[in-house]
Structure 1
């Protein structure tokens, strides 16, 4: 599997701060766009079910605190038209390619997760882990699963405690590539290319996304 992971962004000052401040932002679990992803009522009900199955871990489960957990969500692909539409302002934005291995090496206390998709809450999976004695990081297990309809996102999450709503500094070398959207304005491209002209980003590969000639899909042309 490629070690690149991708972040789709709308073109705006907040998005450009990734380059200007060299920070990535971890969303709090209460800000997810899918209400079923981490709904407090569903979570509470799921925890009660796990407690009933794994009575020996009832006290540990009761003490779990999700309020400060932060998630940096990415995708394993930059060719997904739906992701470009939903997260990159209908192809008017851009997509950043990160070096996953360098990010993981830099973010020592962060858990890296290839999200799994299914139609049910992971009560059975988490209960089996507890019954096998794997209680460590059990709170993060709930963030490894999403509803099956989100499978197209091919999401890769970086999850950290005490990072909800916070920015974390990174090194410019952790950014591998930037791809411009099909509908990105020329003035926006010029502004972003000016930022990337800094020596800090001399290694970053710049691409233009284009329509495939013979099928519904995207292709990327290297610009530098």
Structure 2
């Protein structure tokens, strides 16, 4: 999913932001800096329902303590606010220097990468209502308290279509270089601003768009201005390969790749570096096969004797996440494989 951050071109803000983007970072500010003055306004029924707490599994003291922990968390939490849309006229006017500014497009999944920010807590889809949210004791048990505290705004802000990323601490956060996928420039943005971004993003896969006004439809539209490509030492398009399977968990990715061309060890290492640079944003293991016919065996355990031999002979090489300089050749041609072959 793509999400968007509108930014001003005020000199002090722009200079700071360019440095942050170049360092592959973003800033998650404190809760108190958010723009809706009515946020975190509650009818706190907790203090009036102590009698009810005595009937709960947790003692009233435990619930009170949990509530205090939540409010302490509120004081240190970092919140990165984003939008689901890049074509909001109001947001271009309000956040992007009256259409003279720009808007950054992010890959949402890559902003939530725990390998870059271990304090990422949750993603909230902001809800809009003019009714003051009521904080009740049950909210402490089912987690709804976080939505009510950090994910509620008045209807006045509904046009923002906001998504919030919640971090345990307010600070600069890191992301993979590929997390920024495009930059949109406002209808009044000047050429100097566009050139500034093109210079700083010269070696990335990124698109630059210019916003225009479609007067007949009375809406804003994007027009591709320029597309840049990262300079890679190895051209992946010259190699015939396909991804058989991709596994992704919180800390590592596993790719299972059918190599249809015969590559030398050095060529395979260069391929692995280029592949990781283009497709991987977490530590990644690359597993190479000479056929895709073993797809149904990937992840299966245990393998019977026939399948073990089949898998071992197809599994030609591996490059793990810890090093791009070492290849393990035929990892499954181990003692068991040799024993099975001798008896087959």
The bucket for the TM-score relative to the shorter chain is: 0.7 to 0.9
Deviations for 1:148-180, whole angstroms, at most 9, x for unmatched residues?
Answer: 111010001001112x2x111111111111111
Does residue 99 (structure 1) correspond to residue 95 (structure 2)? The answer is no
Correspondence for 2:69: 63
Matched residue SS, 2:80: strand
Alignment check: 8 A CA contact 2:4 2:82 kept:
yes
* Rg (Cα) greater in structure: 2
Q: Give yes or no for the alignment of 1:169 onto 2:174.
A: yes
Counterpart of 2:199 in 1: which secondary structure?
A: helix
Figure out how many residues of one structure are paired with residues of the other and give that number. 207
Is residue 23 from structure 1 mapped to residue 28 from structure 2 by the alignment?
Answer: no
8 Å contact 1:97–1:178 — kept in the other structure? Answer: yes
Q: Is the contact made by 1:51 and 1:61 (CA closer than 8 Å) also made in structure 2?
A: no
Deviation per CA, 1:157-213: give whole Å up to 9, x if none: 001112x2x11111111111111111111111111111121x2x2x11111100114
Question: How far 1:127 sits from its partner (Å)?
Answer: 4.5
Give 1:50's match in structure 2, choosing from 38, 46, 60: 46
- Matching of residue 185 in structure 1 with residue 156 in structure 2: no
Could you say if the C-alpha distance between residues 19 and 171 of structure 1 is closer, same or farther in structure 2, counting changes exceeding 3 Å? same
RMSD value, Cα: 2.0
Post-superposition shift, 1:140? 5.7
Shift of 1:82: 0.4
Equivalent residue in structure 2 for 1:34, among 33, 36, 52: 36
- CA deviation after TM superposition for structure 1 residue 139, in Å: 4.5
Which deviations, in whole Å up to 9, do the C-alpha atoms of 1:59-83 show, x marking residues without a partner? 3213331110111001000010100
Looking at structure 2, the residues matched to 210 and 127 of structure 1 have their Cα atoms a distance apart, in angstroms, of: 49
Higher relative contact order (CA 8 A, sep 6+): 1
Aligned counterpart, 2:3: 5
Whole-angstrom CA distance in 2 between matches of 1:213 and 1:150: 25
Alignment check: 8 A CA contact 1:81 1:218 kept: yes
Are the counterparts in 2 of residues 113 and 144 from structure 1 also a CA contact under 8 Å? yes
> What is the SS of the residue equivalent to 1:16?
helix
Inter-partner Cα distance in structure 2 for 1:21 and 1:49: 45
Which shifted more, 208-217 or 105-114? 105-114
Give the TM-score of the pair, scaled to structure 2.
0.56
**Change beyond 3 A, Cα 1:148–1:111:** same
Given that residues 126 and 162 in structure 2 are in contact (C-alpha distance below 8 angstroms), is that contact kept between their aligned partners in structure 1?
yes
CA distance in 1, matches of 2:121, 2:66: 21
Q: 2:128 aligns with which of 117, 120, 139?
A: 117
Mapped contact 1:5–1:98 kept (Cα < 8 A): yes
TM-score by length of 1: 0.84
Is 2:167 the partner of 1:151? no
Unaligned 5+ segments in structure 1 are none
